[in-house]
Amino acid sequence: MYDVVLLVEQELSEPDAKRVVELHQDMPDPVTYHVLVPCHNAEAGVEASISALGTADLYGPGLAGQRQDLAEAQKAIDTEAKGCTGRSVQRLRDLGQSAEGGISHDRPIDALVATVQHVHGQEVIILTRPHIVAEFFHLDWTNSARRHLGVPVLHLLEHDSREAAAS
């Protein structure tokens, strides 16, 4: 069994799923894909934003009253991420592949490292939109993953779903 962990920034499109599968079409062992979708933590994001603005003293106590709204926002975020993961896994399965997936609220690289260790992944593929500034300064997921993992890491740019629909 050859385990490939996919860290995807957004839903795996049909062209991207085909491209990933084509990379492994000549593998002698069966391939299993493990799709990982990072999920934004709504409460942490709001608190970080307020702290960054230096207004925690003004809004800090008021944040406690917003817990229900944040919980609802988190539920919506989680639902979307789970749907994204499910559709991505299904696209790989529709191509005859073994695939599973999940979401994580951890930092993306921490979640990636944990997933690779858990499934004994032999390869990582990271699919993102272009992030020119982060890539220039080597702060992107791919460079970070290469620093933390001892397996091959491939970075692919996602197809723009609008371009695919127009074709």
Using DSSP's 3-state secondary structure scheme, residue 73 falls into helix
Once rounded to an integer, what is the mean pLDDT over residues 26-36? 95
Using DSSP's 3-state secondary structure scheme, residue 55 falls into coil
Q: Is the pLDDT of residue 40 over 90?
A: no
- Of 103 and 149, the one with more pLDDT: 103
- Residue 72 CB partners (closer than 8 Å, separation 6+): none
pLDDT category of residue 63 using cuts at 50, 70 and 90: low
pLDDT category of residue 138 using cuts at 50, 70 and 90: very low
- Residues of 79-88 as b/e, b for ≥16 C-beta within 10 angstroms? eebeebbeeb
Give the rounded percent of residues in the chain with a pLDDT score beyond 90.
44
The pLDDT of residue 86 is 96
- Of 50 and 84, the one with more pLDDT: 84
Q: Where are the beta strands (DSSP E) in the chain?
A: 2-8, 31-38, 98-104, 123-128, 153-157
Q: List residues bridging with 35 in a β-sheet.
A: 6, 101
Q: Single out the residue of 71, 68, 47, 70 nearest to residue 59, CA to CA.
A: 47
The pLDDT of residue 61 is 53
Q: Is the pLDDT of residue 5 over 90?
A: yes
Q: How far apart are CA 9 and CA 23, in angstroms?
A: 19
Contact 88, 11 (CB under 8 A): yes
Q: Is the pLDDT of residue 58 over 60?
A: no
pLDDT category of residue 133 using cuts at 50, 70 and 90: very low
Q: Name the maximum alpha-carbon separation found in the chain.
A: 61
Q: Is the pLDDT of residue 119 over 60?
A: yes
In the chain, the N- to C-terminal Cα span, in Å, equals 36
Average pLDDT in the chain: 79
Helix axes 42-52, 56-64, angle to 10 degrees: 160
The pLDDT of residue 57 is 52
Q: How far apart are CA 83 and CA 71, in angstroms?
A: 18
Q: How far apart are CA 47 and CA 66, in angstroms?
A: 11
The pLDDT of residue 93 is 98
Once rounded to an integer, what is the mean pLDDT over residues 25-35? 95
pTM over 0.85: no
All domains of the chain, ordered by start, with CATH? 2-157 (3.40.50.620)
